[in-house]
Amino acid sequence: MATTKTNTAPIAPGACIGILGGGQLGRMTAIAAVEMGYRCLILEPQEGCPASHVADHIAGAYEDEAVLARFAEACDVVTLEFENVPVDALKFLEERVPVRPGSHALKIAQDRILEKQFLNDAGIGTAPWAEITDEQSLKDAIDRIGIPSVLKTARFGYDGKGQVMLKPGSDPSKAWEDLGRVRCILEGFVDFDCEVSVITARSANGTVKAFPVVMNEHRDHILYKTHAPADLPTSTAKAAEDIADKAIEALDLTGLLAVEMFACRDGSVLVNEVAPRPHNSGHWSIDACMTSQFQQLVRAVCGLPLGSTEILRPAEMTNLLGNEIDDWAAFLAEPNAQLHLYGKAEAKPGRKMGHVTRLK
């Protein structure tokens, strides 16, 4: 699906792309940008972050306006690689340089309640949900939604952090206590057949183009494998792509939007969550697609023509967590495998240290 709006002057190669965040997503975005002739500047508090190995780096706080002003002065356009940048930082930057995606999309993506409400208002289905602010609202939500369900913090949860599954016999009050008695969301259990995702891009000139639907496997709430393309009925795959395109248009977002969804047993597709950035489930595209998700992000934020999202070969991407990267030599010996390591200094259990993509 592709639509086009009023053209915007492109930002040509040679310009500087600012990236908020210095993790592996920023690293792979910078690599793609440099290959296309751009310079990159990373703003990330941590010295020696993965992206700093491949691009210039300012080690400063996102809340420091002097640092932000220096960053904006050096950049022709700014994008981000993760959601936990303060919205006020983007608002400050937006007054000085194009920021894509902007503060509006980030504000919604940072808050599960705002996110669910926005999606529902746009006519996009999700699991049943309710906002939790105290014990009475939790009790009322359970009465309405039922158990099993999932209690999640409204903000700052990822890879299974900040959430508790409520099962028959669970103590909801203790679950909320364990999450810090902060504002939460209760989400109803979804009877799904598989978890899928779509990454779609929207250029500064309004063109929208989605990557094919992929199927995801998780272990302990962390993405383990992605299969591209997903083995789905054509109608289900089209529904998922249409949902992703509808969401990025509704957000008026320039850049990438990753939409994680449940393909349900009744044939419906429901959105779990969205992320306005490159996504772990799109890493396969580096080796198996005409255009990688990272190159597509560069194209989108710079107002260039979006690349083809054609799959060249089916692929399976596997995350390498913690000490699994110790097997790097074995991965390199596989004839159909491509190894990507992120340059992180310390391997910790559950930490994403790299990935391997196997072409089929």
Residue 157 lies in a domain: yes
Distance CA 256, CA 209 (A): 10
Write down the pLDDT at residue 61.
97
- Shared domain for 307 and 222, answered yes or no, is yes
240: burial class by Cβ within 10 Å (0-12, 13-18, 19+)? buried
Residue 233, preceding bond cis, omega within 30 degrees?
A: no
| Spatial contact of 73 and 12, defined as CB atoms under 8 Å apart | no
Domain end residue (candidates: 77, 109, 141): 109
- Shared domain for 216 and 350, answered yes or no, is yes
The dihedrals phi and psi of 171, each to the nearest 5 degrees, come to -100, 100
- Shared domain for 334 and 227, answered yes or no, is yes
CB atoms within 10 A of CB 35: 12
43: burial class by Cβ within 10 Å (0-12, 13-18, 19+)? buried
Residues spanned by the domain of 138: 128-188
- Shared domain for 164 and 273, answered yes or no, is no
Count of domains observed in the chain: 3
Task: In the chain, count H helices and then E strands.
Answer: 11, 17
- Shared domain for 170 and 157, answered yes or no, is yes
- Shared domain for 181 and 322, answered yes or no, is no
Q: What is the DSSP-derived secondary structure letter of residue 148? A: S
Distance CA 264, CA 281 (A): 19
Residue 8 lies in a domain: no
- Shared domain for 267 and 248, answered yes or no, is yes
- Supply the pTM of this predicted model: 0.94
- Shared domain for 234 and 142, answered yes or no, is no
- Shared domain for 76 and 162, answered yes or no, is no
Written as tens digits, the pLDDT of the chain (360 aa) is: 444 344 478 999 999 999 999 999 999 999 999 999 999 999 999 999 999 999 999 999 999 999 999 999 999 999 999 999 999 999 999 999 999 999 999 999 999 999 999 999 999 999 999 999 999 999 999 999 999 999 999 987 665 568 898 999 889 999 989 999 999 999 998 889 999 999 999 999 899 999 999 999 999 889 999 999 999 999 999 999 999 999 999 999 999 999 999 999 888 999 999 999 999 999 999 999 999 999 999 999 999 999 999 999 999 999 999 999 999 999 999 999 999 999 999 999 999 999 999 999
Q: pLDDT tens across 116-158, in order?
A: 999 999 999 999 999 999 999 999 999 999 999 999 999 876 6
